[in-house]
Every structure is written in C-alpha cells, then in structure tokens.
Amino acid sequence: MIFDTSSDANLIPALKKGDREAFEAIYAHFWKPLYIHVYKRLDDTYLAEEMVQEVFVQLWENRQKVEIERSLSAYLYGSVKNKILLHFRNLYRHSAHHAEIKYQAIKSDQQLERSVVQGDLLDKIEQLIQCLPNKSRRVFELSRVDFLSNKEIADRMGITDKTVEYHINYSLQYLRNHCPDYLLASLFFYTMTGAQA
C-alpha cells in the first residue's frame, strides 16, 4: 500500500496496527529533515544520527500506545527536541567544568551566544509561559512547540500574520522582563522557522 505522507489520516492508524510499510513511509519522509534539524543544533553528525534513530526506534516499539495529539510532524520534532534538551542538561550536570554549549537558534539571521544552561532554568521559563494571556500563549506554543510558521498559525487561528507576530513578540518580551536569565534559556526555544530548516 502506498501511503500519503502529507496526511496523518491513514499513517497513524496503520502505524498503531503494526503496519511496517506505514512506518517505513514515515521514516523515509521524516528522517532527513529531522537529522538536519538536530545537526544544526548539535554540530555533531554521529550524535544527530543517533538521536534521530532513537526517536524512530521508540516510535516503532511504542506504536500501540503512543499518543499523537496534534500531528505526526509535531510529535517527531517534539521528540528530538526533548532529546536535545536532555543532552544539554546531562552535559551541564556531568561536566567537571561549566561547559560552553554551542546551540544554534537563529532569529533574524542572528546566532545566540554560547551559554551555560542552569538545570532549573527551563522549568522557570515553562512556568512563565503558562502565565501568558491565553491567545499569546497559544500562538507561542504553536510557534515553539508545534514548529508552525507564522502563516500556518494565522490560518489555524483565523488571525493575521501581523497579529501572530505581535503575540510572539509580546510573549518574548514578557519572558525577558520576568526572567533576567532568559537569554540563557533562549537556546531551548526554537525560532519561528528553525524547526522547518
């Protein structure tokens, strides 16, 4: 059976039933963009390949109980994001010296400075996000968690691109104002186009 990878309608149910062709279609469609996405943030070929491979192995092994709430794309990108976060947290915690971590997060073609990530900083940022106004929080999560572009967010929420941009900028400013160390945590929050590289 030939699966349409542009739609989750058939892929996810088939995957849950153990259809290997469905899994292979998912693998063929997502492996390369996921690898590029991880490599750009780690600058390590072996580690990027290993992380992406682990995501697919776990997807197959847990296929019957995996919960894909939004989309297959968001689930896979979210999975590699979690592995990247865990990698940097472990790097920080187990290093004899404070590791300078190079983590690319491009915004307006600018690169964040290398930073040392404190273990509880990400949790603080996530708590602040929950304090945002509902619409701003939803826009911010669609951008940073679901990796949607401004246009995709605008279409989904029935608002203009400018409104999306306003809510994202508002959210970023709110985080900076309430967390002096936000720049350190910024490397955990992908840019509006980072996940689609």
pLDDT recorded at residue 158? 93
pLDDT score for 68: 80
- Residue 99 is predicted with a pLDDT of 42
Burial 13-41 (b: 16+ CB within 10 A, else e): ebbeeebeebbebbbebbbebbbebbbeb
CATH T-level assignment (fold) for domain 8-94: Rna Polymerase Sigma Factor; Chain: A (1.10.1740)
Query: Residue ranges of the chain with pLDDT lower than 70?
Result: 1-9, 93-123, 180-197
Q: What is the pLDDT of residue 57?
A: 92
- Spell out the domain ranges in the chain: 8-94, 121-196
Is the CB of residue 197 less than 8 Å from the CB of residue 37?
A: yes
What's residue 54's pLDDT? 93
Q: Do 8-94 and 121-196 have matching folds?
A: no
Angle at 136 between CA 132 and CA 142, to 5 degrees: 115
Beta bridge partners of 34: none
Taking the C-alpha atoms of residue 138 and residue 157, their distance in angstroms, rounded to an integer, is 9
Fold category of 121-196 in CATH: Arc Repressor Mutant, subunit A (1.10.10)
194, 168 Cβ separation under 8 angstroms: no
Q: What is the pLDDT of residues 100-145, one digit of tens each?
A: 444 344 333 333 333 334 445 666 777 788 888 999 999 988 887 7
Predicted TM-score of the model (pTM): 0.47
